[in-house]
Amino acid sequence: MVRQAAEPARIGESVKAEIGRAARLLGLSYGRVKRYWYGEIAVPPAHEVDAIRAAIGRRQGNPVSAASTVDVAEIHVIYDENGRVWAANSPELRGGLGYTAGDFDVGGFAVRCLGWIEMRQVPGRMHVRIAPRIAQPKAMDALFQALATAPKVQVVLTIRTGQAWEEEIQASAMAAAERIDALVRETAVESDRRFVAIRQPVSVLFRDKQRYLITMLQEARSLLSGVDRQAIVRFAMADPLGRTSVAITDRGTQPQWNWEHIGSALRFYTHDERQRMIGTDGRKGPDPEYVEWCAAAYDRAIAAGEPLIEDVRALVFRRTGSPLESRYRRMLIPLVNQSGPSIVLVSSDFKPLHQAA
């Protein structure tokens, strides 16, 4: 529509002159129209779309009535860690995140696990879904830009707190921006503990009907008769869900825990990272603090001499620097060889947990 406002084109005229003519017709600044001209504004504010349509309509002798202004019900986007705008539920977004099933809440996943921000705008109201504790700075910038250019709207905030979503309503875009900024600042102070693990009895696996962990526990018993390193790795690699890993240490010659196998379902690592980390100190991975924290749990399992079940909440940083919030139940099965290395078989179930703090 902005290019339409510059019509009719004139022979030998520069693009700069066309942008200037469109800006005069539309009543917008030259810089703003230039951004529209070159496609830099992915999600135009509804009031500007209305104003542009009205200006073009007046020039054509066809004034645009309030009833014919643009319907913004379809403005539904997600801002990623780079501030890029994705159309919510688009095939590109789903494919990029690896979730193509139509019934999967890809927006909720992106918000609560990746720190992205979801925004949906309808006439008179804006809906924002955000996880303040991990919200990405550039996603925040994109959201604040949308709030700053929004017409008079009421803003519904859906906020991720712990394992639940809480909703509150702000009377204006400015009030919403101030509230979001306060929430992010509060969580920055409160989130000292990036990792939390709560021990559970083995019986919770049966109570919660976690068939995967139950099956792994039962099948792993065949490994207890002798610590066969290669057999344990083969067992983990045979896991069809890719949720089982193998960590090994030899306190005599190798004080740290090394990876012998990393399950393919662990989203903290890419395929190439998993391959590079096999046989190396886990602390050389993307998040050394997380690995050290896990190593302490492996030590606890070896000391206990029995399977250790824990509900985990962890904020893990990937090599890109972006955080990934994960909540899961892990089962640590210690396999101790008195004359050789100690091995821990690690299996995880990523179902939602109500026990984790």
Cα 65 to the center of its chain, rounded Å: 41
Domain match, 186 and 207 both: no
* Confidence grade of residue 46 (pLDDT, cut at 50, 70, 90): low
pLDDT of residue 82 exceeding 80: yes
Evaluate whether residue 302 is within a structural domain: yes
Evaluate whether residue 355 is within a structural domain: no
Q: Report which of 179, 122, 183 is spatially closest to residue 154, judged by C-alpha positions.
A: 122
Contact by Cβ (8 Å): 245, 261:
yes
- How many domains does one find in the chain? 3
User: What mean pLDDT do residues 64-88 have?
Assistant: 68
- Higher pLDDT: 46 or 36? It is 36
CATH number reported for the structural domain that contains residue 311 in this entry: 3.30.450.20
- Give the CA distances from residue 9 to residues 14, 18, 58, 61, 175, in Å, rounded to whole numbers and listed in that order: 10, 7, 19, 19, 44
Domain match, 85 and 159 both: yes
The whole-number pLDDT of residue 179 equals: 92
Domain match, 216 and 344 both: yes
Evaluate whether residue 356 is within a structural domain: no
**Which residue(s) pair with 330 in the sheet?**
310, 348
Domain match, 201 and 329 both: yes
Domain match, 27 and 2 both: yes
Which of 72-76, 102-106, 122-126: highest mean pLDDT? 122-126
The whole-number pLDDT of residue 102 equals: 63
User: What mean pLDDT do residues 307-330 have?
Assistant: 83
Domain match, 31 and 90 both: no
- Higher pLDDT: 211 or 27? It is 211
Q: Which domain holds residue 38?
A: 1-68
Contact by Cβ (8 Å): 316, 326:
yes
The whole-number pLDDT of residue 151 equals: 78
94-103, 164-173, 191-200: which has the minimum mean pLDDT?
Answer: 94-103
Domain match, 183 and 199 both: no
> pLDDT tens for residues 107-128?
888 888 788 999 998 888 899 9
Evaluate whether residue 156 is within a structural domain: yes
pLDDT of residue 164 exceeding 50: yes
- Reported as half-sphere exposure (CB side, CA atoms, 13 A), residue 95 has a value of 3
User: What mean pLDDT do residues 150-162 have?
Assistant: 86
69-73, 94-98, 135-139, 297-301: which has the minimum mean pLDDT?
Answer: 69-73
Of 192, 221, 245, at which residue does a domain stop? 192
> pLDDT tens for residues 312-321?
888 888 777 7
Evaluate whether residue 354 is within a structural domain: no
Domain match, 179 and 317 both: no
Q: What are phi and psi of 248, to 5 degrees?
A: -140, 145
Instruction: Write down the mean pLDDT value for the chain.
Output: 79
Rg (CA), the chain: 27
pLDDT of residue 299 exceeding 60: yes
